[in-house]
Amino acid sequence: MQGVPPADVIRLMPNVWTEPFWRATAEHRMVVPRCTACGTFRLPPTPFCPSCASQDLEWVEHDGRGTIYSFTVIRHAVIPDVLDALPLIAAVVELPGTGGCRLVGNVVGVAPEEVRISQEVTVDWYDVREGETVPVFRLA
C-alpha cells in the first residue's frame, strides 16, 4: 500500500481493553466501545467510561465513514526507515454517531495538497502482517 509507513516500523500492542478493536480490524471491521450504563462512546478503548466510570461496555459496529478533524503532512523522516514512504498524511478522523470519537490514520490515494479539514473519508484497511491490520482512510 502507498501512503503508509513500512510494516516493519508498526508495532501494535493490544491490551485486554483494546484487543477487541484490533481483532475487528484484522477482519476489516470497525467497532467502537460504548458504555452500557450511560451510552458514552470512547476511543481508544479504556477500562472505565470517562463519563460514569462504569466498566461495562458493548462493541458497536461502525461503517467507517468519518470527517477529517485535523491532519499533518509528514515530510521529514525522524528515523531512516520511513524515508521511502514520505510524504505521509496523518489525519485525525472524527466518527459521526459516536459523540465525537476520533481515530488517527493515514489518508491514502490522494496528494497532500488536496487534503482539507472537514473532508469526508471512508475507512480502508492496511494489512500490516498476519492478524494485524490498521485503519487508513480514503476521500469519500
Partner 1 sequence: MNEGDGLTMRDRTAIVGVGATPYYKRGESVPQLPMELAAKALLAACADAGLDVHDVDGFALYSMGFDTSLFAQWLGIDVRFAGMLTGGGGGAAGSVGLAAAAIVSGQADCVASIMTLQQAASRFGASYAPRGKPGATYSAPPSPEGSFIQPSGLMGPGQMFAVLAQRHMHRYGTTREHFAEVAISTRNNAIRRPTALMQKPLTLDEYFDARMIADPLCLFDFCLECDGAVAVITMSAERACDCAQPPVYVAASANGGAGKWGQAITWFGMPDEYFASSGHRTVAADAYRMADIGPADVDVALLYDHFSPMVIMQLEDYGFCPIGEGGRFVADGNIRWPTGSLPVNTHGGNLSEAYIIGMTHVKEAVEQLRGTAVNQVEGAEVALVTGGPASIPVSNLVLHR
Which positions touch Zn ion (CB under 5 A)?
35, 37-38, 40, 49, 51-52, 54
The one segment of 7-15, 32-40, 56-64 that binds partner 1 by CB under 8 A: 7-15
Contact assessment for residue 88 and residue 10, using Cβ atoms and an 8 Å cutoff: no
The site partner of 54 among partner 1, Zn ion, none (C-beta below 5 to 8 Å per kind) is: Zn ion
Q: Smallest gap, in angstroms, from Cβ of residue 80 to partner 1?
A: 6
What are the CA-CA distances from residue 18 to residues 43, 44, 59, 78, 91 (Å)? 9, 7, 11, 27, 20
Query: Which residues are bridge partners to 122 per DSSP?
Result: 65, 138
| Residues whose CB is less than 8 angstroms from the CB of residue 86 and which lie 6 or more positions away in sequence, other chains included | 74, 75, 76, 77
Name residues contacting partner 1, limited to 80-99 (CB under 8 A).
Answer: 80-82, 85, 88, 90-92
- Here the cell at position 40 is 458514552
- Out of 36, 54, 72, 122, name the contact with partner 1 by CB under 8 A: 72
The site partner of 69 among partner 1, Zn ion, none (C-beta below 5 to 8 Å per kind) is: partner 1
